[in-house]
Amino acid sequence: KVLPTSCCFLHRSSYKAELKEIGVYENALVHKNKCLSLFCGSAETPLIYGDIAPSKSRNAVPCTATGCKWPKSGDYVYIPVYISSSYTERNIIIRGLVSFHSSTCIRFVWRTSHVDYLYFYSGTGCWSYLGRQGGLQAVSLRNNGCLYHSTVQHEVSHALGFHHEQVRSDRDSYVQVLPQNIIPGYEHNFEKIQTNNLGTPYDFNSVMHYTKYAFSKNGQPTLLSKANPSLDFGRATSMSANDIARINKLYGCSE
């Protein structure tokens, strides 16, 4: 059943086996360590590129393989989801998911007996895996700090196979990285990747772009626009036209 386009919703009936599976998963990720930012993980889910959890088969590799994409059925890409009952503001997540319906061929449906699905839960910060992983695929959106429309779109875009804007292959023509201002040990978040840019331009307004102060150790910029060093960016409140175009191109959505 495709998620409806209106609010509000009652929590759907749960499945005992699923709750057992999810309960074990949640307990495995609980820890008391504080993070430097909301983009953090745990010992069980060390993160690459700020808020992307690595998989054994797909670490920092760009999502270009067929297996990385969610399968298409007819004109649409149906992605099953389960949203943890621990959320008090589930509608923020639902609105974020439904926002993909109006501009792309992505359709989120409630998970029933599906094997592969996205599981949204309040974990240690805001993070996601890159592309389809198979089985229960966690997307962490912490109750306190991650429940924003743009954050939902950002993490879901990772799950669809998209990396951060500032690591794309042509970024050196548009941004300057200032390593002297980056928190030691976090430099890997700025490493460039051989991405498939799908014929779209570099976009400072992308919901996938870091702010100019991301992972700063001293309050100074870690990223600057080469064309306009005073430009502020990385504060998108929703997907840009380029974000939408990339999803449609990657998944072969009809215009």
SS3 6: coil
Residue whose entry in the numeric block shows the structure tokens 């997307």: 139
Question: What is the residue type of 140?
Answer: S
Task: Spot the catalytic one: 155, 165, 187, 255.
Answer: 155
154 is in an annotated binding site: yes
Around 214, how many Cα atoms within 13 Å sit in the side-chain half-sphere? 27
Residue 204 CA to chain centroid, in angstroms?
Answer: 17
Q: Is-contact 136 25, C-beta < 8 A?
A: yes
209 is in an annotated binding site: no
Residue 158 — φ and ψ, nearest 5°?
-60, -45
188 is in an annotated binding site: no
Q: How many CB atoms lie within 10 A of CB 180?
A: 9
- The answer to whether 44 is a known catalytic residue is no
End-to-end CA distance of the chain: 24
Q: Is the peptide bond before 253 cis (omega within 30 degrees of 0)?
A: no
Residue 79 β-bridge partners: 108
d(CA 206, CA 223): 15
Residues making up the binding site: 154, 158, 164
Residues making up the binding site for Zn(2+): 154, 158, 164
Show which residues are catalytic: 155
